[in-house]
Structure 1
Amino acid sequence: MLGHNSSVAAGNLRATLMSWHEAHPDVEVECIEANRSVLLAGLDTGEIDVAILMGAASHNGFRCEPLWSERMLVALPVSHPLAERDVVHWTDLRGERFLLPVGDPGPEMRDMLLGRLSVSGAKPDIRMHRSSRETILSILGGSSGVSIVCEGSTGAHYPEVIYRPIHGEQGPALAGCSGYWRDDNSNPAMRRFLGFIKTRYALSFDSSLKTQ
């Protein structure tokens, strides 16, 4: 069982799952999308074998290894002045009203915005909604706000909404994704899947079973 808290409409997670299915059609990877706390609890009970989450926060009892990075984009109504640009910089977003979901990955997006756009004590205008990211993007085209999404969300299209990549001083804004699993999980399919990710992205973590 694979847990994730981000969209698989596009991006590396979708590409990984598609490549895995092509290479191993006999081994189905069942996915569950939920908030970080639910997925980590599932790891603890053994219901979930691997969780792929934004960020790289360590948790007692779980392995945490960085997997890949994805671009961050701003979702804009097509009528927004920034929609005419090919690239949007963080500084262009000061003064905007951000609409984000209370559920994942909304809190990570909020923290990123607070870190990037807080200036001289002034914080960005962030509205957290008790709606899914899909609902927020579905109504964004008729609003005066904008939203922030990972590259994985850009495979889905919404009326009157476009995506523009965000750049900072060092180039494209990126968000890292990490894998979490229990070292004592002996599920052979999970070990194969971790090895597949390791090879696909040329990573160096040890995916072998750790025994006491």
Structure 2
Amino acid sequence: MPFEIRQLRYVIAAADHGSFYRAARALDVDQSTLSRTVLKLERSLGSELFIRTRAGVRLTKIGQQILRSARPMVANADRILATTRAGGKGRAGGFTVGFNSSVSAGNLRATLVSALHENPDVEIEGVEADRSVLFAGLDSGEIDITIIMGEVDRDDFRHASFWSEHVFVAMSNYHALSERDVVNWVELRDQRFALPTADPGPEIRDMLIGRLWRSGAQPDIQLHPVSRETILSILGETGMLSVACEGATGALYPDVVYRPVHGEQGPALIAYSGYWRKDNANPALKRFLAFVRKRYALSFEIGTQANENILSSGEAP
């Protein structure tokens, strides 16, 4: 059944805003135009997509199914349009990267900065959110690649281990352990930890439990519904510790210091992985993946063999 991207865009806006009126205002169109366009789509499909009430609109079951398909279609259409416009202006387009950890320092920041320096015509947009939101963005096509701490079992995406970062413990500069250049896991057994409930707090909590239980300790870990920045900013007053990866150590807070954590085998490390859709044909994303692969001497597959050959030859895919 033929339809227009504009119709799908109106459906998405109405679903997100729960109202034709608010959706029309957000899209800067007349409400009557939006309503008629949605109604025309419903008639062509032979099914109602919305339940209409005085309070607003909500999706029917069929509407929910349509919405799941509409989001990636509209996102891909927007990407094609942006790439075409960028090409017409001599630019290389762009991509959106999602992440759930700080980029004040560390490999993620260094990689993005270096990628921009190597490809100054590429625009990189960042989205920081919990991994559930990031993977939903991948599903919908609104995010091109997600780079997260650790790994998740998502075989519906291409994925690869990108790099590892050092683990640091953050504490007041009055804390006894602050006098150490390096802190060992065994020295953290009796400490109290504060972490955010948002990512990557739960991931760090699980790592702490796994590391400290090996030495027979039951760590005192508290998760708080505040940002990691808030937790780090008050450590100097609480006597508690927090754990952060290298990417967070570029941000400085009053009376707070960072110390690298070591184990029996040397520096404590945590891996970072990248996830992207198998059908994502965004040329800027493929360039970025090729850049990461070369920078870290990796061997993961980017896309089809044809795309691999194109990237190897240096031609635009």
Q: 3-state SS of the aligned residue for 2:199?
A: coil
Q: Please tell me whether the aligned partners of residues 184 and 209 of structure 1 are also in contact (alpha carbons under 8 angstroms).
A: no
CA contact (8 A) 2:169 2:261 kept: yes
Paired position in structure 1 for 2:251: 156
- Give the Å deviation of 1:58: 2.2
The answer for the alignment partner of 2:213 in structure 1 is 118
Q: Write 1 or 2 for the structure with the bigger share of strand.
A: 1
Aligned partner of 1:53 in structure 2 is 148
Q: Secondary structure at the match of 1:9?
A: coil
Look up the SS of the partner of 1:22 in the other structure: helix
1:6 maps to which of 92, 98, 101: 101
RMSD: 1.4
Describe the SS at the equivalent of 1:29. strand
* Counterpart code for 1:159: P
- Where structure 2 has 5 or more consecutive residues not aligned to the other structure, the ranges are 1-95, 307-317
- CA–CA distance in structure 2, aligned partners of residues 40 and 50 of structure 1: 9
Assess if the C-alpha contact under 8 Å between 1:58 and 1:64 holds in 2.
no
Matched length: 211
* Matched residue, 2:227: 132
Q: Which has the larger radius of gyration?
A: 2
| Higher relative contact order (CA closer than 8 Å, sequence separation 6+) | 1
Identity among equivalent pairs (%): 60
Larger proportion of helix: 2
**Deviation sequence 1:122-158 (CA, Å, 0-9, x none):** 5200000000000000111111100000000000100
Residue by residue, what CA displacement relative to the aligned partner does 1:70-98 show, whole Å, maximum 9, x if unpaired? 00000010000000000000000011000
CA distance in 2, matches of 1:11, 1:122: 30
Q: Which residue of 2 is the match for residue 199 of structure 1?
A: 294
Amino acid at match of 1:204: S
C-alpha contact 2:97 2:125 (8 A) present in aligned 1: yes
1:67 aligns with 2:158: no
2:132 aligned with 1:37: yes
Q: What is the rounded CA distance, in whole Å, between the counterparts of 2:196 and 2:173 in structure 1?
A: 21
- Cα distance, 1:20 vs. partner? 0.9
Structure 1 residue 62: deviation in Å? 0.8
Task: Supply the distance in 2 between the matched residues of 1:25 and 1:60 (Cα, whole angstroms).
Answer: 33
State the TM-score, normalizing by the size of structure 1. 0.96
Counterpart Cα distance in 2 of 1:108 and 1:76 = 19
**Contact preservation (8 Å) 1:138, 1:159:** yes
Cα pair 2:236 2:255 within 8 Å, conserved: yes
User: Equivalent residue for 2:115?
Assistant: 20
Contact 2:158 2:276 in 1 (8 A): yes
| Contact 1:86-1:165 within 8 A present in 2 as well | yes
CA distance, structure 2, for counterparts of residue 122 and residue 153 of structure 1:
26
Q: How much has 1:120 moved relative to structure 2? A: 7.9
Q: What does residue range 87-106 of structure 1 map to in structure 2 within 5 Å?
A: 87-106=182-201
Offset at residue 121 of structure 1 (A): 6.7
Q: Which amino acid aligns with 1:71?
A: H
2:202 corresponds to? 107
Q: Which runs of 4+ in 1 moved over 6 A?
A: none
Q: Hey, what does 1:84 align to over in structure 2?
A: 179
What TM-score does the superposition give when structure 2 sets the normalisation length? 0.65
Greater mean deviation of Cα atoms: 142-151 or 58-67: 58-67
| Structure 1 residue runs without a partner (length 5+) | none
**3-state DSSP of counterpart to 2:238:** coil
